[in-house]
Chain A
Amino acid sequence: MKFLSIARTALVALRRDRAALALSFILPISFFSIFAVIFGSRHDTVPKISIILVDEDQSPTSRQLVQALRREGSLTVATKPQAKKNEPEPADYTAATAEAAVKAGDVSVALIIPAGWGANPITLRPDLPSGPALQLLNDASDAIAPQMVGGLLEKAAMTALPVTMAEQGMKYTSESIGGLTPEQRTRMEANLARMRQYQAEQAAAGPGAASPAPAGFGSGGLIAVQNRSVVGENKNNPMISFYAAAIGVMFLLFTASGSSGALLDEAESGTLDRVLSSRITMTGLLAGKLLFNTLLAFTQLTVMFLWAWAIFKLDFLAHIPGFLIMGLSTAVAVASFGMLLASLCHTRAQLGALSTLVILIMSSIGGSMFPRFLMPESMQKAGLFTINAWAIDGFTKVFWRDLPVSALWPQVSVLLAIAVVLFAFARRIARRWEYA
């Protein structure tokens, strides 16, 4: 029964290590709660898709479609930018401004109803030329939103445009079949054969090849929709830049907190005391550590992005200025975060427990584990309190949206502000090491 003694000894040791004890209970509960909120069943937490609608057609049919889409609970439809205080009502979106909004990341999807669409809205003959198709502009990094909007368009066609469907059906019947003479029957069979062949071709080509996604018969829908990725259309892999930033930032946080833990080692060994007895002040010491941790984090990011460039064809060389700005801003914010955590803790064990808890929570709600656009709106807002979210947004602007450096000011400002505030807190808390 000696093994029971081993178990008892381990239990006593765990009870003394309060940090580890707390972590073993708090961490799983925290994570369960976060995932439950993100993927939970409460309807008010299901993410809505924001979509911009541009009705160039202005026909009765197009207005009916717009109304039908507005009624959809899972869509947030905008036809014009949000009005700002003390400014005149902004003009409706045009195809160009809608495309710009998708490129800027304001929304994932924009639907353009082209002029003339209402004359021939539903296509039952994909192999014949028809009227202009709806334009669905999307951001290729969000694979889900265009699919959902496509499905909702089908629903709108089935429920909101029954008259149109019937008219189109009759038109099709009279055009294709006419009377059921032997000659007409032969023609219809020939048409059906062509449709079957078309369907087979589409199925063989696989998903995504149906662009313009033409018509019913299984491959697309009743409403002809032309999908176009306005962001990332020339990228090799839409998620490489996202994950380079997302995973990079998460591990940067771990590295920074571990590296800042050297402060605790030095405090324990007496080296910190000795250094502070020299001409180095506490502010100087922390600033030196911050500089080192910033450079370490920046080097880590650089290596990560160079790896993504070399192995996964990330277009690194064309985005060096944006990378430098975002990399340094992220690195200094992450380094300050590590300094704060270290100054809060008294031992390495405490730091390990606290950093694991805080970093994993930040990474999950900040978008390092799964994209924030998949999360409920409230969770997306909570993510804005994390370094991860701002860093990932900034890197996405650089590598995914190809936005100019000037567009990075919100992310850079927030990251630098985080760095200043966290460092100020760390400096204040570090007063406990200054004198006894």
Chain B
Amino acid sequence: MSSPAARVPVTSPALQPSANHPPPAEGAPLRVDALVKRFGQVTAVDGISLELRTGECLGLLGPNGAGKSTLIRAIVGRVIPDSGQVAVFGSAAGSPAARAALGWVPQELAVYPRLTASENLHSFGSYYGLSGKPLAEAIAWCLKWAALEDRSHEITRNLSGGMKRRLNMAAGLIHQPRLVLMDEPTVGVDPQSRNRIFEMIEALRAAGATLIYTTHYMEEAERLCDRIAIVDHGRIIALGTHQALVQESFASRSQVLARFDGPPADIASWVASQSGRLADSTAEFTIKHPTEIAVLLESAANAGLQLVDVSLRRPNLESVFLHLTGRELRD
């Protein structure tokens, strides 16, 4: 079976100005200025500013409840901010021009369960004013992109979970948007289907799509995104490329992961004495030079702990998040 990337046309409709939405007059794909949104006592978005460049994929990485979805919904125009502004290609969020330019893939399976895949795409296409041949072509492209051509006449609720997710994504692209917002599109998806979704997104990326991708899986952000904004408690606490974020937090330092045999209380107190951290049964230390490993292991032996295994790794986004917040990304 060929990969979805191979099936996606070189010039995806998502990138092509069409009669449905004329080419941009001006403005970056997205500009968010000092956005604040409160729900009662809870500040979901607390002064976020960011700008998106044409053709880039920006990842919003943060734990559940960090404010990623509220930010996305404010960009779509479904949330009215308490203060701040959002401009999509220079148009205010929620304006007809912004609506036409945006493709939103919500976290929920926001499709009609009793309609077929094809009928769903037809409905959402017509909601954007598409009809006739352009609509038929857009449906054909979406079905191909989502690898649902064989199941186009299947009732949606009878599709597998992964297929429903892919249809949910396709419905967000039916009107050939110039900026695509994907809100955790892999939630509740098995690893195989997740890879399929990654391939779809990579195909879009290869064709030059401009994307915002929210997730709480750092692997997804590392794999798919050019830049990553780490979001916590409604604020962007770090923004940059994967490498830049790691460099900023850890410079050239590395992480040592080691497991020991011995009384758990002894292991815990020794790890704490070495300024390390215990996650599950693995001790984690940050070191500047690999030579520090020997010093650590000697100290462990002196404390009566027996080494099971040890490894050295470059810090990842999870480490960056932990470093910045003192909490795990998936807490």
Contacts and interface: CB of A to CB of B under 8 A. Distances in A.
Given A435-B79, A436-B79, A274 B110 contact: yes
Nearest to A288: B127
5 contacts: A269-B110, A274-B171, A274-B172, A278-B124, A436-B39
B interface, over-half SS:
loop
Interface stretch (B5-13, B98-106, B272-280): B98-106
Nearest to B70: A436
Contacts of B172: 274
Given A274-B124, A279-B96, A436 B80 contact: yes
Nearest to A268: B108
Interface residues of B, number: 27
A60 interface: no
A279 B172 CA distance: 13
A92 interface: no
Contacts, number: 52
Contacts of A86: none
B128 A271 contact: no
A278 B128 contact: yes
Contacts of A435: 77-80
Given A279-B100, A435-B78, A436-B73, A273 B110 contact: yes
Given A273-B73, A277-B78, 17 more contacts: A270-B107, A270-B110, A271-B110, A273-B110, A274-B124, A275-B124, A276-B78, A277-B76, A277-B99, A278-B124, A279-B100, A279-B127, A279-B128, A279-B129, A435-B79, A436-B39, A436-B79
Given A436-B79, A436-B80, A280 B127 contact: yes
The 8 closest A-B pairs by CB, nearest first: A270-B108, A270-B110, A278-B127, A274-B110, A271-B110, A436-B79, A435-B80, A277-B76
B112 interface: yes
B106 A270 contact: yes
B109 interface: yes
A35 B99 CA distance: 54
A274 B77 CA distance: 11
B142 interface: no
Nearest to A277: B76
A436 B76 CA distance: 12
Interface in B50-106: 73, 76-80, 96, 99-100, 102, 104, 106
A264 to B, nearest CB: 14
A308 to B, nearest CB: 31
A410 to B, nearest CB: 40
Interface of B: 39, 73, 76-80, 96, 99-100, 102, 104, 106-113, 124, 127-129, 171-172, 175
Contacts of B106: 270, 273-274
Contacts of B76: 277
Interface size band for A: 10 to 19
Interface in A249-278: 269-271, 273-278
B85 to A, nearest CB: 16
Interface in A390-436: 435-436
Given A273-B106, A274-B171, A436 B78 contact: yes
A108 B175 CA distance: 63
Contacts of B78: 273, 276-277, 435-436
B96 A269 contact: no
Contacts of A436: 39, 73, 78-80
Nearest to A272: B110
Interface of A: 269-271, 273-280, 435-436
A367 B128 CA distance: 45
Contacts of A277: 76-78, 99, 102, 104
Contacts of A280: 127
Contacts of B171: 274
Nearest to B181: A277
A273 B113 CA distance: 16
A274 B172 CA distance: 9
B79 A270 contact: no
A71 B265 CA distance: 103
A248 to B, nearest CB: 26
A278 B99 CA distance: 6
A269 B79 contact: no
B73 A271 contact: no
A269 B156 CA distance: 14
Nearest to B172: A274
A338 B124 CA distance: 25
Nearest to B123: A275
A274 B127 CA distance: 10
A276 B127 CA distance: 9
Contacts of B100: 279
Contacts of A278: 99, 124, 127-128, 175
A285 to B, nearest CB: 9
Nearest to A275: B127
Most buried by B among A269, A279, A280, A435: A279
A270 B79 CA distance: 14
A277 to B, nearest CB: 5
A175 B127 CA distance: 92
Nearest to B102: A277
Contacts of A273: 73, 78, 106, 110
Contacts of B110: 269-271, 273-274
B127 A271 contact: no
B80 A270 contact: no
B68 to A, nearest CB: 15
Nearest to B98: A277
B51 to A, nearest CB: 22
Contacts of B109: 269-270
Nearest to A273: B78
Nearest to B105: A274
B117 to A, nearest CB: 15
Contacts of A270: 106-110
A269 B168 CA distance: 12
